[in-house]
Amino acid sequence: MGAILGLETITGQTPPKWFSRTDTKQLLSHLTELRWKSSTEELVKLKDHLGADLEPLGKIASEQEPLESFMARDPSPEREMFWHEKHAEYEAAWQEPGVLASTIKAFLIALQDGPNAYASLGIEDPYFTEGFFEQDLRDLLAMSEWARDQGIPKARLFES
């Protein structure tokens, strides 16, 4: 089954638009690899090749178990410290939707301006070459712009 990616708003409002061509599992996988800076990953290659700053796309939160139930399995200080580190990471994923939108828009423009970027980097994955990746980005851009236009102060990419 696997996890999927979405946009969560701090107000709890749900974007009226969603991903139109995929279930986002591949986008989530590539963004996770971006976070770990895997040099063999297609998105990392594209980012480096195009000189793009994709840091906002690497900030992804997921559901977090309450501290009490997390600690019930192993009440060690190390485990509690781990929970607090993860909680801080999830909270740091909140960002202005306009920042997310401008990051995505700049990357999409760079992809259009970089002729044959996929071929020149040896990227043959149909997710990229058949347009699914760029469509996922355009869909995420629409969600981010919607949140910005609604005046929503914070949004984050969310894995569920």
Query: Is residue 71 in a domain?
Result: no
Looking at per-residue pLDDT, the higher value among 103 and 116 belongs to 103
- pTM score of the predicted model: 0.87
In angstroms, how far is CA 4 from the centroid of its own chain? Answer: 10
> Is the pLDDT at 156 greater than 80, yes or no?
yes
Average pLDDT over residues 34-45: 79
155 found inside a domain: yes
Residue 110 in domain: yes
What's the Cα-to-Cα distance from 48 to each of 1, 38, 79, rounded to whole Å?
Answer: 31, 11, 35
Please check whether residue 43 lies inside any domain of the structure: yes
Q: In terms of residue numbers, what domain contains 51?
A: 5-66+76-159
Is residue 59 within 8 Å of 93, Cβ to Cβ?
yes
Specify the DSSP element, H or E, that contains 61.
strand 60-62
- Give the pairing of strands 60-62 and 5-9: unpaired
Label residue 1 by pLDDT band (50, 70, 90).
Answer: very low
For residue 98, is it within any domain? yes
Name which of 136, 106, 138 is nearest 22 in CA terms: 136
Per the listing, tokens 């946009």 go with 7
Quote the pLDDT of residue 32.
86
**Distance in angstroms (rounded) separating the CA atoms of residues 136 and 116:** 19
What pLDDT is recorded for position 147?
A: 97
Q: Is residue 81 part of a domain?
A: yes
110, two tokens: 């760079």
Tell whether 133 is covered by a domain. Answer: yes
Does residue 114 lie within any of the structural domains?
yes
Give residue 35's pLDDT. Answer: 77
Q: How confident is the model over 122-141, as pLDDT tens digits?
A: 999 999 999 999 999 999 99
In the chain, the number of structural domains is 1
Say if residue 10's pLDDT is above 90: yes
* Tokens 């190390």 sit on residue: 78
